[in-house]
């Protein structure tokens, strides 16, 4: 049940018993399938932790991650280094041990009184409708296919859900000005209408992520929003659906486009997470690059592949790296894919042939 400390809310609270006393632990719940990458939660949790530390000295934080694999939880834990109070990040079904905390939490001689409970003011939305709001909360605006890929539902089901949300005045289908990187450029309108959140829809999405009123969560958004409406972004946004079509035997749990990743200087066009051939795997995708010359393609692919593998190595998952481009781009990129580790596979595909990819082989580059 939601609890309040000052003007900030948390998912729940518990006083955990340890050998020498009881903790004062606030709980924050994360659903790995809620359309937001694991790297995004540091921004709101940092502010929430600082607030709790001021209002309730001795408090600690327990982040519960509901996920089908461990990678998401491990990246959430990694991103929270430097939090203002002791914290533990575990899978949702695991109670933290003493050593799961980032540093020893303060212990009290007896269990503390329960913080005030916040009553729910409205009936919750069905989960699938909520997922659509969360998708638009990350994407800002998008079409039915893009939203369907992010929420992991068929397009026809997603269309019906969006229609219901429109009736509830939570979303709107409209043509809006393009998002500009520089305000000096003249405003232009999108070429076709897209789905947008209304203010009430955004509020529901934020509350569903556990973000209290007054706490910023701008890190939830995709990078390079000025590319919305272009073919490059559309392909990036349907990467999860592409993988499901190409490799139906694989489990694709979720995926995102244009993800800012801590400690990496490159931004993948698409990043999905799942399991293939029994291995928990990240599926990193780059599309296009035909505006670069061959040397630039080889150089940037070398950099991207090295950083993608560094991301996987730090949590022990495997990597499938995909380049969706024309044949001459594949040839240039191929020169960067040498001495691959046995836990890495590279595949080349055409950006014009949706849902088609060659069968992977670990440690090898597989051409289109």
Statement to judge: residues 293 and 185 lie in one domain: no
Statement to judge: residues 248 and 357 lie in one domain: yes
Judged by DSSP in three states, 103 sits in coil
Confidence band, pLDDT 50/70/90 cuts, at residue 1: confident
Q: Is 119 a member of any domain?
A: no
Q: What is the pTM of this model?
A: 0.94
Q: Is 335 a member of any domain?
A: yes
Q: How far is CA 215 from the centre of its chain?
A: 19
Confidence band, pLDDT 50/70/90 cuts, at residue 181: confident
Domain that holds residue 237: 231-366
Confidence band, pLDDT 50/70/90 cuts, at residue 281: very high
Confidence band, pLDDT 50/70/90 cuts, at residue 234: very high
Statement to judge: residues 242 and 216 lie in one domain: no
Statement to judge: residues 197 and 284 lie in one domain: no
The CATH number of the domain holding residue 172 is 1.10.10.10
Q: Is 67 a member of any domain?
A: yes
Average pLDDT for 158-183: 91
Q: Is 68 a member of any domain?
A: yes
Q: Residue 288: exposed, middle, or buried by beta-carbon count in 10 A (0-12, 13-18, 19+)?
A: middle
Average pLDDT for 39-64: 95
End-of-domain residue from the set 194, 221, 248: 221
Phi, psi of 174 (to 5 degrees): -155, 165
Burial of 206-229, coded b for 16+ CB within 10 Å and e otherwise, reads bbbbbbbeebebeebebebbebbb
Q: How many CA atoms lie within 13 A of 99 on its CB side?
A: 0
Average pLDDT for 199-220: 95
Statement to judge: residues 240 and 215 lie in one domain: no
Summarised one tens digit per residue, pLDDT across range 104-113 is: 999 999 988 8
The CATH number of the domain holding residue 256 is 3.40.1350
Statement to judge: residues 217 and 254 lie in one domain: no
Q: Is 109 a member of any domain?
A: no
CB 176 within 8 A of CB 190: yes
Cα 101-26-213 angle, rounded to 5 deg:
130
Statement to judge: residues 204 and 244 lie in one domain: no
Phi, psi of 363 (to 5 degrees): 80, 10
CB 329 within 8 A of CB 296: no
Statement to judge: residues 26 and 60 lie in one domain: yes
Statement to judge: residues 239 and 347 lie in one domain: yes
> Total structural domains in the chain?
3
Q: Is 258 a member of any domain?
A: yes
Statement to judge: residues 238 and 309 lie in one domain: yes
End-of-domain residue from the set 221, 253, 287: 221
pLDDT at 321: 97
End-of-domain residue from the set 186, 221, 256: 221
Statement to judge: residues 94 and 144 lie in one domain: no
Q: Is 70 a member of any domain?
A: yes
Q: Is 108 a member of any domain?
A: no
């Amino acid at each position: 049940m939601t609890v309040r400390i000052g003007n900030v809310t948390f998912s729940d609270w518990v006083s955990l018993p340890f050998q020498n006393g009881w903790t004062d632990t606030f709980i924050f719940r994360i659903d790995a399938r809620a359309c937001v990458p694991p790297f995004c939660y540091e921004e709101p949790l940092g502010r929430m932790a600082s607030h709790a530390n001021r209002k309730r000295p001795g408090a600690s934080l327990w982040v519960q991650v509901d996920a089908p694999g461990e990678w998401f939880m491990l990246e959430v834990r990694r991103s929270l280094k430097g939090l203002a109070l002791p914290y533990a990040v575990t899978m949702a079904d695991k109670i933290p041990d003493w050593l799961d905390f980032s540093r020893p939490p303060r212990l009290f001689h007896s269990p503390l009184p329960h913080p005030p409970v916040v009553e729910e003011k409205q009936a919750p939305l069905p989960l699938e409708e909520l997922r659509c709001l969360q998708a638009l909360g990350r994407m800002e605006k998008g079409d039915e296919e893009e939203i369907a890929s992010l929420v992991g539902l068929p397009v026809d089901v997603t269309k019906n859900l969006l229609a219901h949300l429109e009736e509830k005045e939570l979303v709107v289908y409209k043509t809006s000005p393009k998002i500009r990187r520089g305000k000096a450029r003249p405003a232009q309108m999108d070429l076709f209408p897209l789905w947008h959140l209304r203010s009430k829809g955004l509020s529901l999405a934020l509350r569903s992520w556990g973000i209290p009123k007054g706490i910023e969560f701008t890190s939830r958004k995709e990078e390079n929003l000025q590319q919305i409406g272009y073919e490059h972004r559309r392909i990036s946004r349907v990467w999860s659906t592409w993988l499901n079509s190409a490799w139906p035997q694989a489990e694709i749990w979720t995926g995102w486009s244009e993800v800012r990743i801590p400690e990496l200087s490159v931004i993948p066009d698409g990043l999905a997470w799942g399991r293939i051939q029994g291995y928990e795997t990240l599926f990193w995708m780059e599309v296009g690059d035909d505006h670069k010359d061959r040397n630039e393609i080889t150089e940037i692919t070398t950099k991207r592949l090295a950083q993608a593998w560094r991301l996987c190595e730090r949590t022990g998952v495997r990597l499938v790296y995909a380049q969706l481009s024309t044949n001459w781009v594949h040839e240039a990129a191929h020169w960067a894919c040498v001495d691959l580790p046995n836990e890495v596979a590279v595949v080349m595909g055409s950006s014009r042939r949706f849902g088609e990819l060659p069968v992977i082989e670990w440690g090898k580059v597989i051409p289109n």
